[in-house]
Amino acid sequence: MTSRKPIVAIDGPAGAGKSTIARRVAEKLGFIYVDTGAMYRAVAWKSLRAGVSLSDSDGITALAKSMTIRFDRSNGQRVFADSTDVTEAIRTPEVTRLSSPVSAISGVRRRLVEMQREMGTAGGIVMEGRDIGTVVFPDAEVKVFLTASPEERARRRQLELAEKGIESSLDDLAAQMRERDDRDSSREDSPLRQAADAAPIDTDNMTIDQVVEAVLRLCEERMRGCCSTT
Ligand code: DC
């Protein structure tokens, strides 16, 4: 029996609803929420800013090692790369595209996984990404693998962009998403895949509330008697 608080790992492809669900589950449990995709995006942002080309894996690894990535939870969930608030800057299409090949660089992954494990030392955390249940916290008490059909995921992303006043084509979004999924799933280091002991949830015909409920139910089942939640 462990004395740390539980860890909830939520993995899945882009647009499956991980961020929304993970954030709400963390709120309900009073746990810390960590969006690991934002960390890969921050490294991609920094490499663009520093003019380090994607072909220079060592250069990008050196950047990842030298920079700090911090979440400020006092004012929503702001993301800082060193002292710069990059919360909005890491969501541009350019950074989104670059974050996938940057996340395939082993040196970058090693550094970020180390930071993520540090964040989870005390538990009491909901962490979402692609390799949380498989690599970062293989012993997490709760593991969820969220999926949705490519059409549904593209539709959700379109709505999200529309809310920011950005018009986009569903076909283009679906194509970009497919490309990112293929790359994230086929890379050698820590590819996106479901952990053997993760609970799969297909969110296609579910509301956000229903998915949150399903994850909370799973937390209740898995956390019962396994460790302290207070
Ligand atoms: O979840 P997201 O779209 O913000 O993630 C950005 C990129 O980072 C995505 O292409 C996959 C990668 N990523 C990863 O490889 N491992 C994680 N734990 C989280 C994200």
Domain ranges of the chain: 7-31+123-221, 36-122
Q: Note whether 7-31+123-221 and 36-122 share their fold.
A: yes
Task: Reply yes or no on domain 7-31+123-221 having CATH 3.40.50.300.
Answer: yes
Task: Give me the CATH topology for the region 36-122.
Answer: Rossmann fold (3.40.50)
| Both tokens assigned to 219 | 């937390």
Pocket test for ligand 1, best of 100, 102, 113, 180 (most atoms within 8 A of CB): 100
Secondary structure class of 204 (helix, strand, coil): coil
Residues contacting residue 15 through CB under 8 Å, at least 6 positions apart? 148, 152, 153, 154, 156, 157, 177
**End-to-end Cα separation, the chain, in angstroms:** 15
Q: Looking at ligand 1, which atom is closest to the CA of residue 41?
A: 6
Cβ–Cβ < 8 Å for 101, 94: no
Secondary structure class of 10 (helix, strand, coil): strand
Pocket test for ligand 1, best of 20, 41, 130, 179 (most atoms within 8 A of CB): 130
Q: Is 100 exposed, middle or buried (0-12, 13-18, 19+ CB in 10 A)?
A: buried
pLDDT given for residue 180 in this prediction: 87
Q: Give CB contacts under 8 A, 24+ apart, made by 63-68.
A: 64/107, 64/108, 64/111, 64/112, 65/107, 65/111, 67/42, 67/43
Partners of 159 in beta bridges: none
pLDDT given for residue 14 in this prediction: 87
Residues framing ligand 1 (Cβ under 6 A): 14, 36-37, 40-41, 99-100, 103, 129-131, 180, 184
**230 residues of the chain, pLDDT tens digit each:** 567 899 999 999 988 999 999 999 999 999 999 999 999 999 999 999 999 999 999 999 999 999 999 999 988 889 999 999 999 999 998 999 999 999 999 999 999 999 999 999 999 999 999 999 999 999 999 999 999 998 899 999 899 889 888 899 999 999 988 888 898 899 999 999 999 999 999 999 999 999 999 999 999 999 886 665 55
pLDDT given for residue 80 in this prediction: 97
Distance CA 195, CA 132 (A): 9
Q: Looking at ligand 1, which atom is closest to the CA of residue 131?
A: 18
User: Per-residue b/e over 18-41, b at no fewer than 16 CB within 10 Å?
Assistant: bbebbbbbbeebebbbbbbbbbbb
